[in-house]
Amino acid sequence: MSGYGIICRARTGKGITRLALVDRTKTRRLWWTSDDPAIAICYESKSAAEFACGRLKKNSPQVVTFDEACQMLRYQADVRRVMERMEAES
């Protein structure tokens, strides 16, 4: 899917370094997601994403392509699964 997303640095977390802004029409429970690209917001225009990003101040928000944001989220989800599996085995 083409478009733009907003990501920011995560404060803490096991294997989580980035968060993506959530589309609040899809869920009202979260503002940010670390591992679910299905609920991340996708802006059609870069100017709309930059406007929304400009309103966010904490954790270095930035506009990236939506594909890049989804790739980051999928990678973090994989890392999280591996870490959980390793913890369960020990």
Task: Render pLDDT for 49-73 as a digit per residue (tens, 0 to 9).
Answer: 999 999 999 999 999 999 999 999 9
Task: Render pLDDT for 7-55 as a digit per residue (tens, 0 to 9).
Answer: 999 987 677 899 999 999 999 999 999 989 999 999 999 999 999 999 9
- The total number of structural domains that make up the chain: 1
pLDDT of 1: 64
CB 36 within 8 Å of CB 19? no
pTM: 0.88
CB 7 within 8 Å of CB 66? no
* Containing structural domain, residue 30: 4-89
